[in-house]
């Protein structure tokens, strides 16, 4: 199985990606969280910073673009191509209210005809036709209902994309309910493009259930599962599919590197603690016996106190 690291805005920053890539294996590609070019404005410097090659040295990283205007998408592709990227990902999954209300991310899925025109423009652009950059798509199965999925698949099937990454929830699910394996099975049946599955593969047993049903799929994108256990992909690659195995020492070294890097690049203790707390929201379930400590970690506003809790947690 090939594993991709999902983009997670605010979480999988270049600092996170670098630390993960240094301490753990098993990941073929890291997807950067979306950059969103404004109409005719290009990409902001703040957004571009995360994808600058010098911040991502030696990491196989794919930038992601979110827009509903083909001109802006193509312009962003040119910027990324100038930075040296040969593969870019298009976001059709983001469920956030502010994004969806602008008809972007999973909001764009509610307008299949417009989406079709958008893709027609993009895939007819000489840069894409000549494969100077290749495009993959990350999509949900619809905006409001899984019934939208067959039409969306019909559209996707017309374009020579590198890969179609499917998170088979609809926007209205946000992260509730379960990804529809039925919709994914429909894609497997009719797809003319290579498919990647994404959604709720959190531990070895879920991985095993997936491969039992979809033995023909050779790529999975992991998000919250690998934030929770950064060793997940590597363990599975090594044939260890036990539920929650991990090496505490390595986890600590990875964690300490993250905090050192965030401390160096962010101003003040609070933003650093905010970043770490976002991670602990996912990682804490690896330490089920430490619930009381979790509450303390989430409450503290002091880095020295936080470090003390880490000594306790990893002891």
Residues at the site binding ligand FMN, with contacts judged by CB under 6 A: 6-9, 11, 33-34, 64, 91, 93-94, 138, 167, 198-201, 222-225
Closer residue to ligand FMN, CB minimum distance, 213 or 248: 213
Q: Would you state the structure tokens that stand for residue 3, as one six-digit string?
A: 């594993």
Closer residue to ligand FMN, CB minimum distance, 142 or 223: 223
Largest CA distance in the chain: 58
Closer residue to ligand FMN, CB minimum distance, 201 or 217: 201
Exposure on the CB side of residue 270, measured as CA atoms within 13 A = 0
CB of 312 to ligand FMN, least distance (A): 27
Which residues are 170's β-sheet partners?
A: 142
CA torsion through residues 3, 8, 38, 119, sign = positive
Helix (H, G, I), strand (E, B) or coil at 176: coil
Count of helices and strands (H, E) across the chain? 15, 8
CB of 196 to ligand FMN, least distance (A): 11
Closer residue to ligand FMN, CB minimum distance, 64 or 300: 64
DSSP-assigned letter for residue 90: E
CB of 34 to ligand FMN, least distance (A): 4
CA torsion through residues 162, 154, 222, 279, sign = positive
Q: Which residue is nearest to ligand FMN (CB)?
A: 223
Closer residue to ligand FMN, CB minimum distance, 107 or 225: 225
CB of 304 to ligand FMN, least distance (A): 28
Ranges of beta strands (E only) in 36-179 are 61-65, 87-92, 134-142, 164-170
CB of 308 to ligand FMN, least distance (A): 27
């Amino acid at each position: 199985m090939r594993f991709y690291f999902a983009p997670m805005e605010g979480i999988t920053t270049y600092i996170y990606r670098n630390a993960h890539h240094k301490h753990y294996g098993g990941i073929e590609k890291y997807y950067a969280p979306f950059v969103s070019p404004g109409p005719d404005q290009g990409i902001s410097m703040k957004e571009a910073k995360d994808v600058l090659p010098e911040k991502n040295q030696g990491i196989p990283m794919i930038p992601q673009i979110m827009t509903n205007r083909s001109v802006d998408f193509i312009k962003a592709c040119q910027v990324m191509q100038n930075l040296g990227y040969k593969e870019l990902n298009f976001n059709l999954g983001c469920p956030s209210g502010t994004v969806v209300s602008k008809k972007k991310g999973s909001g764009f899925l509610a307008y299949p005809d417009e989406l079709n025109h958008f893709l027609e423009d993009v895939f007819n652009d000489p840069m894409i036709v000549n494969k100077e950059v290749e495009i993959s798509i990350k999509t949900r199965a619809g905006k409001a209902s899984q019934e939208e999925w067959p039409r969306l698949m019909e559209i996707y099937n017309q374009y020579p994309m590198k890969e179609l990454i499917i998170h088979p929830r609809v926007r209205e699910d946000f992260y509730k309910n379960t990804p529809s394996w039925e919709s994914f099975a429909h894609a497997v049946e009719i797809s003319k493009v290579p498919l990647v599955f994404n959604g709720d593969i959190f531990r070895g047993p879920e991985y095993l259930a997936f491969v039992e049903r979809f033995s023909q799929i050779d790529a999975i994108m992991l998000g919250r599962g690998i934030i929770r256990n950064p060793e997940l992909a590597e363990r599975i690659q090594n044939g260890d599919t036990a539920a929650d195995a991990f090496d505490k020492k390595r986890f600590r070294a990875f964690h300490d590197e993250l905090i050192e890097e965030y401390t160096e690049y962010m101003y003040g203790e609070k933003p650093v603690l905010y970043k770490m707390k976002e991670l602990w929201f996912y990682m804490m379930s690896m330490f089920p016996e430490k619930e009381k400590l979790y509450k303390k970690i989430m409450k503290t506003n002091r880095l020295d106190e936080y470090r003390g809790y880490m000594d306790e947690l990893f002891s």
